[in-house]
Amino acid sequence: MTDIAKPVARPVNPAFSSGPTAKRPGWSVEALKDAAVGRSHRAKIGKAKLKLAIDLTREILKVPEDYRIGILPASDTGAVEAALWSLLGARGVDLLAWESFGEGWVTDVVKQLKLEDARVIKAPYGELPDLAQVDTKTRDVVLAWNGTTSGVRVPNADWIADDREGLIINDATSAAFAQPLEWKKFDVVTFSWQKVLGGEGAHGILILSPRAVERLETYKPAWPLPKIFRLTKGGKLIEGIFVGETINTPSLLATEDYIDGLQWAKSVGGLDGLIARANANAKVLHDWVARTPWVANLAKDEATRSNTSVCLSIVDPDVVARGTEAVAAVAKGIVALLDKEGAAYDIGAYRDAPPGLRIWAGATVEASDLEALTAWLDWAFATEKAKLSA
């Protein structure tokens, strides 16, 4: 048994998954009442909905007018894959990896595309690679800006050359709408609807700079491209993709949900308001970690700690002394116990990450719910630790 009393107040919304994330505050299915269900995405109403989603994305993220924004299939993965298969191979590429998704892009480039001039720059979970090693001047660069499964993000874009010759391909799926994106530093940015705005899965956003478009129109990869990756026809960009004429059939129900999230974002102050909410949420967790001896941030450097996917390690000496299996057992026990209590859902570490917890702190989460969660975490840890000695 534990001497920590079981909390009384539960989070109003215990959804702390890192994707799909919590719906916006006040969301209900009524938000989807104007969805163009049963209609063709090629009909006037379908095209208008998709174009509205693109236009609101540009407005809220402050995307430059000369950057294209397209909706692609297969979530953020589809958007990243389309960029990798369509753009890489024209010059050498530096691949950054410090968690599972970055590792996934390394696998695709090295083992699937089999690029010979590919340098892999790695760091273990909790750390960031040495950015000084990256050649942003002459080579292409691929990275995940916010490591969703490690809680480590790139703190700024100062290290990226303004006069670069290559392309910067930025998987920003857990950063978009929560962290500043310095657009002049990026040539490709991708994300999915189910992250910071709490949208439904299956769709990805691909944003291209003029330099990326030039590459697409002047370079032809040596390998065949599947239909869902084809962004050009006859050596020219397929402009329709970037005004809502999608490659394959999109869900207009999911599109309506994304539009609702974008409209809500406007109501809370746009990008600045979303970033402020995420920062305030992350602060609740980071402050709790600072005063709690049994837990620590997986991200070692405070400057690189994510304000969305907060990843935590169990560092209690008694538990750690029992070995990795004990740490994993306590972590899994906490996750299962809080799920059973209805206090927190889906807060386990990613399957490839070190054992621990992963709690989403993006803008659709309420700080008051995270405050309530911390008491449940303390209680659950004490309960699970007690089981080790039982």
Domains by residue range for the chain, with CATH: 39-266 (3.40.640.10), 270-389 (3.90.1150.10)
Give the C-alpha separation, 135 to 158, whole Å: 13
Chain segment 45-104, per-residue pLDDT in tens: 999 999 999 999 999 999 999 999 999 999 999 999 999 999 999 999 999 999 999 999
pTM of the model: 0.97
Chain segment 329-380, per-residue pLDDT in tens: 999 999 999 999 999 999 999 999 999 999 999 999 999 999 999 999 999 9
* pLDDT confidence of residue 389: 83
Facing residues of 71 across strands? 205
Percent of the chain beyond pLDDT 70? 99
Chain segment 5-17, per-residue pLDDT in tens: 999 999 999 999 9
Characterize the bridge pairing of strands 203-208 and 232-233: unpaired
Q: Which residue has the tokens 């809370």?
A: 268
* Residue 264 near residue 24, CB atoms below 8 Å: yes
Residue type, 314: I
* pLDDT confidence of residue 390: 74
Closest among 319, 315, 341, 289 to 387, alpha carbons compared: 319
Residue 101 φ/ψ, nearest 5 degrees: -70, -40
Q: Which residue has the tokens 């292409």?
A: 140
Residue 358 tokens, joined: 């992963």
| Across 317-329, average pLDDT | 97
Mean pLDDT estimate for the chain: 97
H or E element, residue 214: helix 210-218
Closest among 163, 140, 143, 142 to 90, alpha carbons compared: 140
Chain segment 238-253, per-residue pLDDT in tens: 999 999 999 999 999 9
| Across 122-146, average pLDDT | 98
Residues 6+ apart with CB under 8 A from 173: 76, 144, 146, 148, 190, 191, 192, 195
Three-state secondary structure call for residue 375: helix
Facing residues of 203 across strands? 73
Residue 83 tokens, joined: 């960029």
Give the C-alpha separation, 388 to 109, whole Å: 44
Three-state secondary structure call for residue 188: strand
pLDDT at 2 > cutoff 70:
no
Burial of residue 368, with CB atoms counted within 10 A of its CB: 0-12 exposed, 13-18 middle, 19 or more buried: middle
Secondary structure E strands in 257-333: 295-297, 309-314
Three-state secondary structure call for residue 8: coil
Return the C-alpha torsion angle 334, 340, 345, 347, nearest 10. 10
Give the C-alpha separation, 36 to 252, whole Å: 6
Return the C-alpha torsion angle 51, 56, 59, 60, nearest 10. -150
Q: Which residue has the tokens 């089981």?
A: 387
Residues 6+ apart with CB under 8 A from 291: none
Characterize the bridge pairing of strands 93-97 and 140-144: parallel
Indicate the length of the chain as a whole number: 390
* Residue 151 near residue 302, CB atoms below 8 Å: no
DSSP state of 183: G
pLDDT at 1 > cutoff 90:
no
Closest among 24, 13, 20 to 261, alpha carbons compared: 24
pLDDT at 288 > cutoff 60:
yes
* Residue 56 near residue 89, CB atoms below 8 Å: no
